[in-house]
Amino acid sequence: MTRNFLQFQRRGRAVRIGDFVPRTTVLDWLRLQERSTGTKEGCAEGDCGACAVVIVRERGGRLVYEPVNSCITLLGQLDGAELITVEDLADNGVLHPVQEALARQHGSQCGFCTPGIVMSLFAHYHQCNGVSSREKINDALAGNLCRCTGYRPIVEAGLEACNGGGDDRFSRNTVARRQAIGALDDKADLFVGDAVSFFAAPASEPSLARLYAQNPDATILAGATDVGLWITKKLAPIDKIIHVGRVVELSNIDATADGYAIGATVSLARAAPVLGSIDPDIAEVLRRFGSIQVRACGTVGGNIANGSPIGDLAPMLIAMGASVELRHGEEIRQLPLENFFLDYGKQDRKPGEFVRRLLVPKLQPATHFRAYKITKRLDEDISAVLAAFCLTVDGGRISEAKVAFGGMAGIPKRAKTVEENLRGLWLGDARRWQSAADAVGKDFTPLTDLRASAVYRGRVAGNLVIKALAEIAGVSPEVTRIADRRTVADAAE
């Protein structure tokens, strides 16, 4: 069954749109079509949060409120969800508790950032079950820039509203809203447009496989945290869009004999607790992956399929020995993730072939994992370098080493000479740590770009080798870490 109109919930009714330009963003629709201009445009690239709106979906029988950046979210991605904007929060002229607290705490000056901040706090108000903390509010607001108020009063407002909160007209109306959202889930394939220009959102994997094999020139759209920028910044003329976000089979997280199979469309927010359970460093890298808005939309599959040399997942998954599963038509194949990346901008993926799942093994006993994300600022920043280490230690000696870096070459890549230097090394022999670190220079010739110079990259990568060895040898994270968090200090016996 195919439906030829988009449908989502808005202000208590179902909106149906049968004709729209496929690359229309939610922000443009709100401001130019609906004329709801409370939502602002700042950067138009997902960085500032001025455009944040809240999308509500049903997941596991409950409503999940997520803030998203409407400037890079496409209108078609709203299918099956409820859209809430800043205009919707006041109840008969009475401000929402979040708005009330922001005003009382003087959390707004020029006010340009305020609608986005209100929406991020509104999502947190509903997600935190009435229990928040300064740390949680900081994470909730990491994707919202405020240039003039200063964050202290904003964070105070968040603490005031969210602790003990959760009761508003949205929560009081949960049952009816859940039914209305559920009624949109008709399991039909969505296709709006014609052969030349369309927005399609297949509901099943066979439908996706068929459609993409027939239209290999179409752009696959997952969370749009990359593709959205092609539209707003490169003004890319994308006419054929296949959105994978409704494909049920790609959204599962399954336990396997040795780890997890993570569907391509699983968002980074959903993947974080699962991948983070493998090692706390993965949890920390994912906590610092973009912002809460980026993690709500961005997907595991998108982070791999984009082939980015600075994507955060790839080096960690390569070091762990993960595989990627691809599908073209009826044909499904698997390959080690490290073989997927061929050259800058080139992956082992045929036209019409899509990423299906990532197969991620858990760590073996005696294996120690470390991952370090190097950025100019702690939150919401793309890596200059990301280093991931998977070292097996037997009786104080490294018996096996897998080390991968992002940001050091045109693709995420293993550091094979570093690995050779590590194999057989006595962890306690600190004099040999430096020669393993120096081997970075044999593995990589990094570039200078706006994130870091080649010299800095080379030096920091070597230092990270030493840091990993020091931590695994037993030097306390209190000594080796300044800002990033590692809750479990595991070291070799």
Ligand X SMILES: Cc1cc2nc3c(=O)[nH]c(=O)nc-3n(C[C@H](O)[C@H](O)[C@H](O)COP(=O)(O)OP(=O)(O)OC[C@H]3O[C@@H](n4cnc5c(N)ncnc54)[C@H](O)[C@@H]3O)c2cc1C
List contacts with ligand X (CB under 6 A).
45-47, 219-227, 229, 244, 264, 289-290, 294, 297-299, 301-303, 305-306, 308, 311-312, 354-355, 382
> Looking at beta carbons only, is 149 or 303 nearer to ligand X?
303
- Binding flag, residue 47, ligand FES (CB under 6 A): yes
Q: Examine residue 32 and tell whether it contacts ligand FES (CB under 6 A).
A: no
> Of the ranges 35-43, 166-174, 212-220, 261-269, which one interacts with ligand FES (CB under 6 A)?
35-43
Computed over its alpha carbons, how large is the radius of gyration of the chain?
Answer: 23
**What does the angle CA 177 – CA 181 – CA 184 come to, to the nearest 5 degrees?**
150
Q: Is 161 exposed, middle or buried (0-12, 13-18, 19+ CB in 10 A)?
A: buried
At 101 the three-state DSSP class reads helix
- The closest residue (CB) to ligand X is 302
Which one, of 480, 368, 5, 44, lies nearest residue 231 by Cα? 44
In the list ligand X, ligand FES, none, the entry touching 312 (Cβ below 5 to 8 angstroms by class) is: ligand X
Residue 427 touches ligand FES, criterion: CB under 6 A? no
Q: How many residues does the chain have?
A: 493
Q: At what angle do helices 280-287 and 268-276 cross, to 10 degrees?
A: 160
71 contacts ligand FES (rule: CB under 6 A): yes
Burial of 257 (0-12, 13-18, 19+ CB in 10 A): exposed
List the interface residues with ligand FES, window 105-124 (CB under 6 A). Answer: 108-114
When the beta carbons of 161 and 231 are compared against ligand X, the nearer one is 231
Could you tell me which stretch among 145-153, 165-173, 304-312, 475-483 binds ligand FES (CB under 6 A)? 145-153
For ligand FES, the closer CB: 232 or 392: 232
From residue 182, alpha-carbon distances to 66, 186, 267 in Å are 17, 8, 20
42, 298, 321, 458: which one binds ligand FES (CB under 6 A): 42
CA distance 472 to 5: 55
- Counting contacts by CB under 6 A, is residue 30 touching ligand FES? no
With binding defined as CB under 6 A, does residue 49 bind ligand FES? yes
Q: What tokens appear for 37 in the block?
A: 């201009």
Query: Does residue number 44 form part of the binding site for ligand FES (CB under 6 A)?
Result: yes
State which residue, 115 or 298, has the beta carbon closest to ligand X: 298
CB atoms within 10 A of CB 59: 11
Q: How far apart are CA 39 and CA 243, in angstroms?
A: 24
- Contact call for residue 468 and ligand FES (CB under 6 A): no
Least spacing, CB of residue 98 vs ligand X, in Å: 23
Query: Between residues 108 and 232, which has the closer beta carbon with respect to ligand X?
Result: 232
In the bound state with ligand FES, the residue whose beta carbon lies nearer, of 42 and 458, is: 42
* Cβ within 8 Å of residue 230, ≥6 positions away: 236, 238
| Nearer Cβ to ligand FES (147/376) | 147
369 contacts which partner out of ligand FES, ligand X, none, CB within 5 to 8 A by kind? none
Q: Which is nearer to ligand X, 56 or 384 (CB)?
A: 384
Stretch that binds ligand FES, among 140-148, 276-284, 304-312, 424-432 (CB under 6 A): 140-148
Cβ(25)–Cβ(227) below 8 Å: no
- Closer to ligand FES by Cβ: residue 71 or 439: 71
**Residue 230 to residue 228: CA distance in whole angstroms:** 5
Distance separating alpha carbons of residues 299 and 270, to the nearest angstrom? 9
* Least Cβ distance, residue 335 to ligand X (angstroms): 14
Binding residue for ligand FES (CB under 6 A) from 25, 69, 267, 303? 69
The footprint of ligand FES on this chain (CB under 6 A) covers a number of residues equal to: 23
Rounded to whole angstroms, the Cα distance separating 390 from 321 reads: 9
Token code pair at residue 459: 């030096």
Geometric angle at alpha carbon 60, from 54 and 63, rounded to 5°: 30
Which residues make up the interface to ligand FES (CB under 6 A)? 41-44, 46-51, 69, 71, 108-114, 146-149
